[in-house]
């Protein structure tokens, strides 16, 4: 047996193969970063929408439980945020629902939450049966 007859064949990459592999790797990394960046943006927007809805729900619960003139306790809304509520008479009611019933009428709570920059972050209206005295204020 001749030890010289057994040769190890090494396959070396050509410059073109290396360049193509680097281009594919670079392209896939660029697409991956774009995908991650886009999903992060969508996540932040969804979080902001959720926060706005959460704050609006908290303000709505506060005003429905305490009335439209209740003061917002410290800690209910984050610093810089404020909420307001106006009690309006309900509109477009059927004929038989317009008149008061034993001192009670249907009122509409117009609730809004304002952000630190003065922009409205959310608003909603809730109809609720209220005392005639409260609806007139």
Domain ranges of the chain: 15-135
Provide the whole-model pTM: 0.64
What are 60-96's pLDDT values in tens digits? 999 999 888 899 888 889 999 999 999 988 777 666 6
Q: Are 100 and 135 in contact (CB under 8 A)?
A: no
What are 44-70's pLDDT values in tens digits? 999 999 999 999 999 999 999 988 889
The pLDDT score that the predictor gives to residue 4 is 54
Q: How many CB atoms lie within 10 A of CB 123?
A: 14
79's tokens: 């610093």
Average pLDDT, rounded, for the chain: 84
The pLDDT score that the predictor gives to residue 5 is 55
Signed CA dihedral, 94, 98, 101, 103: sign only: positive
Cα distance between residue 106 and residue 16, in whole Å = 79
Cα distance between residue 74 and residue 56, in whole Å = 16
């Amino acid at each position: 047996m001749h030890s010289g007859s057994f040769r190890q064949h090494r396959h070396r990459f050509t410059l073109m193969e290396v360049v193509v592999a680097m281009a594919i790797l670079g392209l896939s990394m660029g697409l991956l970063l774009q995908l991650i960046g886009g999903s992060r943006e969508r996540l932040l927007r969804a979080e902001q929408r959720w926060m706005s809805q959460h704050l609006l729900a908290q303000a709505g619960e506060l005003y429905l439980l305490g009335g439209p003139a209740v003061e917002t306790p410290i800690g209910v809304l984050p610093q810089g945020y404020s909420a307001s509520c106006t009690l309006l008479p309900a509109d477009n009611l059927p004929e038989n629902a317009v008149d008061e019933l034993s001192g009670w009428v249907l009122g509409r709570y117009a609730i809004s939450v304002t952000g630190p920059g003065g922009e409205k972050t959310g608003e909603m209206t809730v109809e609720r049966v209220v005392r005639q005295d409260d609806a007139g204020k």
